[in-house]
Structure 1
Amino acid sequence: MSKQISMAVIRRLPKYYRYLRDLLDRDIYRISSKELSEIIGFTASQIRQDLNNFGGFGQQGYGYNVEELYNEIGKILGIDKGYNTVIVGAGNLGQAIANYSGFQKSGFEIKALFEANPRLIGLKIRDLEIFDIEDIEDYIKENDIEIAVICTPKESAQDIADRLSKSGISGIWNFAPVDLNLPENLVVENVHLTESLYTLSYLLNEKNSQK
């Protein structure tokens, strides 16, 4: 797509996708931007502007076809393609992600976990085997892995990311509490859990200070 879409719009798309799925589950197949705004929390104008970035989905006097819009946003997000994925770090967080079935339903096929701790190597989480981290480069190349989820301590995250980059991985979902320094052609999404928690703490503090 040649048009430059702002990151703010891109980060709203998953929310549209989630709410549209909920509407389909309730057998709702047609909705106006006003009705959608009341459900999702964005203004009707914001919704129309966001969706117009990707073409005209709504019809004057009719609104949006929920199933069509859901499928189109799925294509825009790339969810319809499917991605082979591995998890690096089989501690509590890595195991929790491996146990979450929602990723597979969204097109992210977790193939295996990798770990440095010899006590965990060879164990299975659901049907997913935990392999030795030393074998990860070969596994990535042999199994067409596109995405790696980093759940390691911050001290080892950059080294792991460098190895993943050299292995030809396309994207990294980083849960380690550190910003990774990687080539620009590698797509990285950082999830800093403590930063989100600090934001919650700030909002609670503000609320309490107004009492």
Structure 2
Amino acid sequence: MAKHENVSLSVIRRLPRYYRFLGDLLKNGIHRISSRELSLKMGVTASQIRQDLNCFGGFGQQGYGYNVEALHKEIGSILGIDKGLDIILLGAGNLGRAIASHMSFDSRGFNLIGIFDVSEDIIGQTIRGIRVSHADTLPEFCRQRRPKVAMLCIPKNSAQEIADNLVELGIRGFWNFSHYDLALDYDNIVVENVHLGDSLMTLCYRVNEVLEQNPEGPQEKE
């Protein structure tokens, strides 16, 4: 994957959505699409699509549009999906189990290779073909397998300490569901803090706005 300098995080955050929509187009047998057609499907402007893709060199052809399969593959390469980073899960309670069981890690650039917990009721169970191990075995596991990413589904009050320890064990990225905004004092450590409650409250605000503006419900389009 080529290195792309000075690409904003907002552009990077839109790439997975492009990748997902293009994948759906391929499944539906669509192999060519214009930026205008893609914009209508995605609800963003054609100009925004062209600007985003131009950050990586641009992939369309004048009068032809985009080759859906080629663009899907190129965006996957930019995202590094073909690298297959090894990821581990800490916390195999309800949330951790649900994510581990249902998330398609391999199609999103990761290989789930280890699951850890401290609860004796959970240790020894099998999730997605992986036996849950005690968190005490993490140091040896990391020395042998060298995972680079950790998913945290652990209590908020232990997140920072555990993350610090994981950095010492070679972890370089965190997918964090702990309700604690990790702010690690390390260079070259990547954190994606996921707050499901924030998303739900955003939905609450937006639905209430719609209800206030249009309490009778949507009208049929003419």
TM-score by length of 1: 0.96
For 2:67, the equivalent position in structure 1 comes to 65
Residue 75 in structure 1 maps to residue 77 in structure 2? yes
Q: Which AA in structure 2 matches 1:165?
A: V
Give the Cα–Cα distance (whole angstroms) in 2 for the partners of residues 79 and 152 of structure 1: 26
Give the Cα–Cα distance (whole angstroms) in 1 for the partners of residues 48 and 40 of structure 2: 12
For 1:185, the equivalent position in structure 2 comes to 188
Q: Which of residues 128, 131, 154 is equivalent to 1:129?
A: 131
Give the Cα–Cα distance (whole angstroms) in 2 for the partners of residues 79 and 2 of structure 1: 16
Q: Which runs of 5 or more structure 2 residues have no equivalent in the other structure?
A: 216-222
Q: Which of residues 92, 97, 100 is equivalent to 2:99?
A: 97
Percent identity of paired positions between Structure 1 and Structure 2: 53
- Equivalences for 1:99-118 in 2 at 5 Å? 99-118=101-120
Q: Which AA in structure 1 matches 2:49?
A: I
Residue 2 of structure 1: CA displacement?
5.0
Give the Cα–Cα distance (whole angstroms) in 1 for the partners of residues 4 and 28 of structure 2: 36
Give the Cα–Cα distance (whole angstroms) in 1 for the partners of residues 143 and 20 of structure 2: 33
Answer yes or no: is the 8 Å Cα contact 2:81–2:107 preserved in 1. Answer: no
Q: Which AA in structure 2 matches 1:77?
A: L
Give the Cα–Cα distance (whole angstroms) in 2 for the partners of residues 2 and 16 of structure 1: 18
Q: Which of residues 176, 197, 202 is equivalent to 2:200?
A: 197
Q: Which AA in structure 1 matches 2:62?
A: Q
The alignment covers a number of residue pairs equal to 211
Q: Which runs of 5 or more structure 1 residues have no equivalent in the other structure?
A: none
- The 3-state SS of whatever aligns with 1:16 is helix
- Equivalences for 1:23-172 in 2 at 5 Å? 23-172=25-174
Give RMSD over aligned pairs.
1.2
Answer yes or no: is the 8 Å Cα contact 1:137–1:163 preserved in 2. Answer: no
Answer yes or no: is the 8 Å Cα contact 2:88–2:150 preserved in 1. Answer: yes
Answer yes or no: is the 8 Å Cα contact 1:21–1:70 preserved in 2. Answer: yes
Residue 107 of structure 1: CA displacement?
2.9
Answer yes or no: is the 8 Å Cα contact 1:87–1:113 preserved in 2. Answer: yes
- The 3-state SS of whatever aligns with 2:83 is coil
